[in-house]
Amino acid sequence: MTHYAMVIDTKLCIGCCDCVVACKTENKVPVGLNRDWVVEATQGTYPNLSTEFRSERCNHCSNATCVTMCPTGASHYWNGSNIVLVDPNKCTGCKACIAACPYDARLIMHPGGYIDKCTFCSHRVEKGLDPACVSTCPTRCMHFGQLDDPSSTVSQLLKSRKYKVLNPETGNQPNVYYLI
Amino acid sequence: MLNAPLTRREFIKISSLLSMGSALSPMLFLGGCSAHPLPGTGTVSSTPTFCDMCFWKCAGFVHRENGEAWKIIGNAEDLHSEGRLCTRGTGGLGSYEDPDRLKKPLLRVTGADGRQTFREVSWDEALDHIATRMKAIAAKYGADRTLLLNHGYGASHFEHLMRAFGSGSSAEPAFAQCRGPRDVAFKLTFGELLGSPERTDMEHSRCIVLIGSHIGENLHNGQVQTLTTALRHDATLITVDPRFSVAAGKSKYWLPIKPGTDIALLLAWLNVLIEENLYDKDYIAQNAIGLEQLRSHVARYTPEWVYLETGIAPDLIRTTAREMAASAPATLIHPGRHSVWYGDDTQRTRAIAILNALLGSWGRKGGFYFQESVPLPDYPLPDYPTPKSTYQVAHGDRYPFAYAGVTNAVIEASIGPDAHYKAWLVYGTNLPTTIPGIRPQLKAAMDSLDLVVVVDTMPMEITGYADVVLPECTYLERYDDLRNSGERLPSLALRMPAFEPSYDTKPGWWIAKQLGHRLGLDKYFPWNDYAEVLDWQLKQVGSSLDEMKKIGIKTFPRTRPKYLAPGEAYGFHTPSSKIELYSQRLADKGFDPIPEYTRPEQPPQGFYRLNYGRMPAHTFGKTTNNPILFQLAPENTLWVNPLVATEKGIENGEYVRLANTDGVVSNRIRVRVTERIGPDSVFMAHGFGHRSRRLRLTHDVGADDSELMNNVKIDPIAGGTGMRANFVTIVKETV
Amino acid sequence: MLEQLLVSARSNPHVDPIISVWGWEISVYLFLGGLTAGIMFFSALMMILKKDEQAPFAVNGLSLLGPVVLSMGMTTLFLDLSHPLFVWRFYTTFEPTSPMSYGAWILVLFYPVSILQVLSTFRSGYGLLASLVDGFPLVGTVLDWAERYRRAIAWLALPIAVGLGIYTGILLSAFSARPFWNTGLLGPLFLVSGLSTGAALTALIARRHSERRLFTLIDAGLIVVELIVVALLLVNLSTGAALQLEAAGKLLGGSYTVAFWGVFIALGLLLPLILEYFEIRGMARRLAILAPVLVLVGGYVLRVIAVDLGQETTWTHYTSEFNTQLLDRLR
Ligand SMILES: Nc1nc2c(c(=O)[nH]1)N[C@H]1C(S)=C(S)[C@@H](COP(=O)(O)OP(=O)(O)OC[C@H]3O[C@@H](n4cnc5c(=O)[nH]c(N)nc54)[C@H](O)[C@@H]3O)O[C@H]1N2
Ligand SMILES: Nc1nc2c(c(=O)[nH]1)N[C@H]1C(S)=C(S)[C@@H](COP(=O)(O)OP(=O)(O)OC[C@H]3O[C@@H](n4cnc5c(=O)[nH]c(N)nc54)[C@H](O)[C@@H]3O)O[C@H]1N2
Ligand code: SF4
Ligand code: SF4
Ligand code: SF4
Ligand code: SF4
Ligand code: SF4
Ligand SMILES: [Mo]
C-alpha cells in the first residue's frame, strides 16, 4: 500500500495558522468548521520557557479506528493507501467514527449532515501536488510524501531528525509526524 | 458662508445610517454544505494581483471556480512572498466577501430633529459636494491648505490628485506611528533608508539579533521567510524581548530585558566589541568616522553596570556580543520596523545602526544588501504646481530630522478657527485607533475643518468623522500602480481586478480622476482607464499589460552588485560620505551625537506596563471583521502572568477591563494566563475593540490598546509617537 | 506549568470542546435495546421451560412487547442520524469490524423471529384480538402453523435475544478511543442490566402472584450479579491508565458521582433489591410495584452515564485561546 505521511518541523513552525486558512479556502470548508488547527504548548516558568507549535489534523492512521467502526464503509482507505476518506453518499451520520477517533479530527458537515475531515488533499495528491496547507506554509516547515519511498523528503527527515507522533498509545499508528 | 452648517460636526456612529447593511452573503455562509464536488474540478480561472492585506505587497493569483471566489495563492516568481502568502493574504478573499463593506457614497446631513446622519447618495452628488468645497477652500485660503492623510498602496492616486490640485501636505502613520525614527536613524548613520521590504539579508545571516521585532507574530512575509531560512541553516538567533515572543522561542539566546532599557544593552554590546577588539577594524577604518568618540562614550557602559538597568547578566551580554562578532559581517542586528516605543527611538535605532556598523554588516552578505528596483518611467504628465506650503508649516522647528509629515503635527495644525489646514482627504487609515490618544484632537479638528473626506472600504471608526464617505472597492476589484519596490532582484508586479467592483464601489483611480475632472484638472488625468497608464509604462520596459495579465510579475536582472566588493570605497550619502558613528548633524541640533541611555518611566504602584504587538491572523484593525480571519482569531486576549492572575484573583478565559493612569477604562478583553509574559506587564494584540456597530463581526470584541495610551512619548528628533510608557490596572468584570 | 492552547479558533459542533455526538437518543436506544433483549429472552425461556402454568404472561403475552419496545428504540436511533436519508446504507454492506453493522443486521433476524413468537402465542395471549383476525383466510393457517412450532421458534429467539443484549454493550466497549467504554466489563454489565430490566418489566405487568414472585426472584438474582460486575468495572477503571483513572474520578468523586451512586446504585439497584427481598419474604406487598419501576429507571440512568461520560474521556486536552461563542456571529 502507498504510505503517505506529513512531517512537520516544530522547530520552524511559528503558529501562524496559515495552514488553517489555506485548508479552509482550498477545500471550501463551511464557515465555523475546521479540518486542521494549531496547538501552542508552552512549558516552564518565566523566564525559563519553551514553546512548541503543532499544526494538527487527521493523522490518516495506518490502523484507523474510524474506519473499523464505520458500519457502512463510508469511511474508507483511499486507493489502497493510508489516506482515510469519507464517502458522503454512504454516510448515515451515525457519528460512530467521530467517537472512534482518538484525535477528535472529524466533524459533521453542517447543514449537510455527513461527516468530513482532512483528506490529505487527495484531490491534489493525485495530481502530484502537495496538500494545500503544506504548499502554503510560509515557513516551509511542513512536508508531505511517501514513507515507502526511502528517498522521499519525509523518509529522509525521519531518518535524520528526532520526531514524535501524537498519542502513540492509541495504537492507531498515526502518520502525521512532528520533528522535535 | 463656508462655515455654514457643518462646522460643528457630531461624531456619527455609522450605525445611525439611514439604511442598514445587507444580509450575510449566502456564498460565504452556506458554501460547501451539501456534498460538494472536489475543489478544482470545475472551470478554474486565475487573475494576478498583489496582496493589500498589509503593506508588504506579496504577489499572487486569485482563483475562481465556476465564477465563484475560491482561493488566493502566492506567485512563485515573487521574492516578497517567495511564492507563499501569509495567513492574512491567504484569507484575503474575506475582505471582498465581507457583507459589512461600505456600499454607497455617504453624505452627512442634518435631519429635521437636528441630528446628523449619513444619507446614501449618488457618486455625482458626493463628488460634486467635495469639488465645490475644495474649490471654495482654494479660493478663500489656497489649495495648499488641504491635507492628505493616507496609508496603503492605493493612496498614490490621491497623492497625484492632491499635488495636481496644489496641496503640498500629506502624512501617513507609516512615519510617526511606525518606521519614522528607525529610518531617520539609519539615514543619519548610513545615509540611506531601509526600505520596505527592508533590505535585511537574513537568508544569508549566520547570526541575527532581534530587538523587539516579533517576527513570527509580525508576519511581514519576506521577513518571516528569510528568518526561517536562516534558522533552517542553523544561524544563531538572539532575541531581546521582555515577552517570550515566538521568535524568542526559536532563539539560542533569549534576553528577557527590562522594558525600555534596550539602549543600555546596545551600548554595553558596543562596549564589549570595542573593549575586546571584536569589531571590523578594516571596515570601520575605511568607512566610518567617530570611532574614538564612540570608544570613550561607551567606556562607562560596562556589562556590569548595564546589568543593573536591563536585568541581563554581564556574562550573557559578553557571550552574545562574541557570538555576533564570530559571525560578522554575516551578523544582522535587526533594525525593527515599528520603532516608536519610548520617545528615544531615533537614538535607540541609532545604537542599532552603530552596532551594525562595528560588525561591518552594512553592504555585506548576511547583513544589509543593496536593493534594486526597475527604472520605470512615469506616464508623461504636466508638472505639478509648486505648493505654497508643505507639511513643514505644521512641524515648525520641531522634529528637525523628520523627512515626512508627522500625523500628530498636521492634525494639530487643523484645529481652531485660524488653523492652517481647512480640508482633509483621509485614505486608508483609521486615525482614531492608529494614532495614540488622538481622539480629542480628532474631535477638535472635526469642529474646525471645512471638509473631511474619507475614502475607505469598511465602515471603520474614521468614517464617523467624515462629511463625505467614498466607498472604494477592494484590492481584488481594481487596478493600482505597478509594484516596483526594491528587492534582491528588480521586479514589477501587477494588481488587476479579479472581480467586478461589488455594490456601488469604485476603484481609487476612478474616484481621483472624477474629482480631478470636477476640479478642472483633466490634463492630469488624460486616460480613460488606468489600464492605459500601466500598459504604457510596461511597454517602456519591454513588457505589456497583456503579458503581465498572464505572469503577474516580471523579474529583471540586477545592474548593480548586491554587496560591497572587498575593500570597495563606497560613498555613503552622509555629509562626511562615511558611516557616521558620531553624528555632527545631531550635535548641531542639540541632540546627543552618540546615543545616551536614560532610565524609562516605571509603572506606579499596582499598575502594569501596557505591552502590545501583532497577532498573526490580523493586520491592525482592518482585518478583524474579515469573515475568514475572524473565524480563525475572533478576539484579542490579554496576556497575564500567573503570579499576577493569582494576585488579582482572575481566571484563564475570564473577561476583564483595563484602566489607564487617567482612569480611561477599556472594552472587555479575555484573559490568557501565560508564562510567556513577565509579572511587570500585560500584553495584547493591537486592532480590536472596534466601536463601529456596522462591523457586525468584530464590533465591541476585545480591547483597543490605543485608547489606553494617555502617556505618549514624542521623539524630539523624528516626531514619532512613543507608545510603550503607558500603564494599566486590571479591572475585574462584574457580570 | 504546561499550557496547551488552541491558537486557531476551533469549534466543530459536537466535537469541541469535548465530543458530544451522542445524546439522549442513543441512551434511550441502548436502554430499550437491552430491555428488548430481556423481554425476548424470558418469553422464549419460559416457553422452552413450559412455564405456561406458573408464568402465563411471560409465555403468552410478553413477546408482543419485544417488537414494540425495540421499534421505539429504533425510532430514537434514527432521530440521532445526521444524514438520515442514507440510513439504507446500513444494509448495502456488512462491516465485520463495526459493532453498529452487527446491530443493523441483528434487527433483520430479530423482527421476523419476534413476529413469529407473537403469532405462536397470539391466540393464547391476546385471544380477543386473535378472534377478530382469525376469521380471515390464511391468518388462521398461519397462526396454526406458528403454534405448532412455538417451541422451535423460542429456541430460535433465545440466541438472538442474547446477541441483542451483548451487542448493546459491545457497541460502546469496542471504542478504543474512549477509555471509559473500552473495557471488557461494559458488555456483560449491559447484558445483565438488560435482562434485569426485562425481568422487572415482566414482574411489573404480570397478574398472577406466582409469576410476579418468580420474576422478582430472577431480578433479585440479576441485580446481585449486576452489583458484582459494577464493582469489577470500578476496580478495573481505578487500576487502569491515566485516562481510565480520569473516568473513574468522575464517577467516584466528580461530575457523575450523584447520578452514579445516588441514582443508579442506590435507587436503581440496592433499594429495589431490598424491596424485592421483602416481596419474596411476602412482606410489604403494597411497595411491590415500586421495585421494578426503580430497576427500569436505574437501567436507563446507567445508559445515560455510560454514553455521556464515555464521550468525555478523550485523549486531547486543549483549552481554546478564544471564546468560540463569538463564532455564532457568523452562523
Ligand atoms: N500579522 C501582522 N504582521 C504585521 C503587522 C500586522 O498588523 N499584523 N503589521 C506590520 C507593521 S506595519 C509593522 S510596523 C510591524 C511591527 O512589528 P515589529 O516591528 O516586530 O514590532 P515591534 O514593536 O518591534 O515588536 C513588538 C515586540 O516588542 C516587544 N517589546 C515591547 N517592549 C519592548 C522593549 O522595551 N524592548 C524590547 N526589546 N522589546 C519590547 C513586545 O513584547 C513584542 O514582542 O509588523 C508588521 N507585520
Ligand atoms: N495602539 C497602537 N497604534 C498603532 C500601532 C500599534 O501597534 N498599536 N501600530 C502602528 C503601525 S506600525 C502602523 S503601520 C499603523 C497602521 O495604521 P493604519 O494603516 O491606520 O491601520 P488600520 O487601523 O488597519 O487602518 C487601515 C484602514 O484602511 C482601510 N482600508 C483597508 N483597505 C483599504 C483599501 O483598499 N482602500 C481604502 N481606501 N481603505 C482601505 C481600513 O478599512 C482601515 O480603515 O498603526 C500604528 N498605530
Ligand atoms: S502555516 Fe506552517 S508555520 Fe504556520 S502554523 Fe501552519 S505549520 Fe506552522
Ligand atoms: S486521526 Fe482519527 S479520523 Fe483520522 S484516520 Fe485516525 S482515527 Fe481516523
Ligand atoms: S457517520 Fe458516516 S462515516 Fe461515520 S461511521 Fe457513521 S456512516 Fe461511517
Ligand atoms: S491536507 Fe488538505 S485537507 Fe488536510 S489539513 Fe491540509 S489542507 Fe486541509
Ligand atoms: S505579508 Fe501577508 S498580508 Fe502582507 S502582503 Fe504579504 S501576504 Fe499579504
Ligand atoms: Mo507599521
Instruction: Pinpoint the alpha helices (H) of B238-290.
Output: 246-249, 262-275, 281-287
Range B197-223 average pLDDT:
98
- Do the chains contact at C176 and A102, CB–CB below 8 Å? yes
Report d(CA B619, CA B624) in Å as an integer: 8
What beta strand segments (E) does chain C contain?
2-6, 319-320
pLDDT of residue B1 exceeding 50: no
Would you say how long chain B is, in residues? 735
How many Å lie between the alpha carbon of B365 and the closest alpha carbon of chain A?
22
Which member of B29, B627, B635 has the closest CB to residue C322? B635
Q: What are phi and psi of B491, to 5 degrees?
A: -155, 155
Range C79-87 average pLDDT:
95
C1 contact B CB<8A: yes
pLDDT of residue C284 exceeding 70: no
Range B290-303 average pLDDT:
98
Structure confidence at residue B28 as a pLDDT band (50, 70, 90): very low
Q: Which of B457, B478, B688 to mutate for ligand 2's pocket (most ligand atoms within 8 Å of CB)? A: B457
Q: What is the pLDDT of residues C305-330, one digit of tens each?
A: 999 999 998 888 899 999 999 999 99
- Do the chains contact at B29 and C9, CB–CB below 8 Å? no
Q: Whose CA is nearest to atom 7 of ligand 5?
A: A91
Lowest mean pLDDT among A155-164, B288-297, B634-643, C250-259: C250-259
Alpha carbon dihedral A141, A144, A146, A147, in 10-degree steps, equals 30
Average pLDDT, chain A: 97
Whether B681 lines ligand 1, by a CB cut-off of 6 Å, is no
CA-based nearest residue to B48, from B504, B480, B538, B502: B480
pLDDT of residue A6 exceeding 50: yes
Whether A66 lines ligand 4, by a CB cut-off of 6 Å, is yes
Range A46-53 average pLDDT:
98
Range C219-225 average pLDDT:
96
How much is the pLDDT for B23? 35
Model ipTM value: 0.94
Lowest mean pLDDT among A145-159, B684-698, C10-24, C133-147: C133-147
- Going from the Cα of B64 to the center of ligand 7, the distance in angstroms, rounded, reads 20
Whether A85 lines ligand 5, by a CB cut-off of 6 Å, is no
Q: Write down the residue that cell numbers 464521550 correspond to.
A: C311
How much is the pLDDT for C287? 73
* C223 against C243, higher pLDDT: C223
Q: For residue B671, what are the β-bridge partners?
A: B638
Range B58-74 average pLDDT:
97
Instruction: Pinpoint the alpha helices (H) of chain A.
Output: 18-26, 65-69, 96-100, 122-125, 132-136, 153-160
Structure confidence at residue B5 as a pLDDT band (50, 70, 90): very low
Report d(CA B658, CA B671) in Å as an integer: 11
Nearest CA in chain A to B80: A138
Which member of A27, A42, A109 has the closest CB to residue B676? A42
Assign residue A17 a region (left: φ > 0; alpha: ψ between -120 and 50; beta: otherwise): left
Using CB atoms within 10 A of its CB, is residue B598 exposed (0-12), middle (13-18) or buried (19+)? middle
pLDDT of residue B286 exceeding 70: yes
Angle in degrees, 0-180, between the axes of helices C24-48 and C186-205, rounded to the nearest 10: 70
- Do the chains contact at C3 and A68, CB–CB below 8 Å? no
How many Å lie between the alpha carbon of A158 and the closest alpha carbon of chain C?
24
- CB B632 within 8 Å of CB A17: yes
Which member of A15, A34, A41 has the closest CB to residue C4? A41
- Going from the Cα of B196 to the center of ligand 7, the distance in angstroms, rounded, reads 12
pLDDT of residue B154 exceeding 90: yes
Structure confidence at residue B194 as a pLDDT band (50, 70, 90): very high
How much is the pLDDT for B731? 96
How much is the pLDDT for B13? 61
pLDDT of residue B87 exceeding 70: yes
In the structure grid, which three cell numbers stand for residue B255, read together?
Answer: 534576553
Q: Write down the residue that cell numbers 469496542 correspond to.
A: C174
Whether A59 lines ligand 4, by a CB cut-off of 6 Å, is yes
Q: Whose CA is nearest to atom 1 of ligand 2?
A: B706
Report d(CA B712, CA C120) in Å as an integer: 93
pLDDT of residue B21 exceeding 80: no
How much is the pLDDT for B8? 58
Q: How do strand B451-456 and strand B468-471 relate by DSSP bridges?
A: parallel
Report d(CA B315, CA C146) in Å as an integer: 96
Q: What is the pLDDT of residues C130-186, one digit of tens each?
A: 888 888 888 889 999 999 999 999 999 999 999 999 998 899 999 999 989 998 899
Q: How do strand B669-673 and strand B681-685 relate by DSSP bridges?
A: unpaired
Structure confidence at residue C252 as a pLDDT band (50, 70, 90): confident
Beta-carbon neighbours within 5 Å of ion ligand 8: B 178
In the β-sheet with A142-146, what is the strand arrangement from edge to edge? Answer: A142-146, A4-9, A176-179, A163-164
pLDDT of residue C282 exceeding 90: no
pLDDT of residue C47 exceeding 90: yes
How much is the pLDDT for C240? 85
List chains touching A (3+ CB pairs under 8 A).
B, C
- Going from the Cα of C311 to the center of ligand 5, the distance in angstroms, rounded, reads 16
Range B722-734 average pLDDT:
94
pLDDT of residue C302 exceeding 70: yes
Count of CB contacts below 8 A, A vs C? 161
How much is the pLDDT for B29? 33
* B5 against B121, higher pLDDT: B121
Whether A175 lines ligand 4, by a CB cut-off of 6 Å, is no
Peptide bond into B459 cis (omega under 30): no
Q: Which of A83, A84, A91 to mutate for ligand 4's pocket (most ligand atoms within 8 Å of CB)? A: A84
Q: Whose CA is nearest to atom 2 of ligand 4?
A: A101
pLDDT of residue B26 exceeding 90: no
Other C-beta atoms closer than 10 Å to the C-beta of C68 total 13
pLDDT of residue B165 exceeding 60: yes
pLDDT of residue B59 exceeding 90: yes
Q: What is the pLDDT of residues A20-33, one digit of tens each?
A: 999 999 999 999 99
Q: What is the pLDDT of residues B373-399, one digit of tens each?
A: 999 999 999 999 999 999 999 999 999
Q: For residue B683, what are the β-bridge partners?
A: B611, B639
How much is the pLDDT for B27? 33
Whether B58 lines ligand 7, by a CB cut-off of 6 Å, is yes
- Do the chains contact at B631 and C319, CB–CB below 8 Å? no
Instruction: Choose from A53, A61, A86, A104 for mutation: most chain C CBs within 10 A.
Output: A104
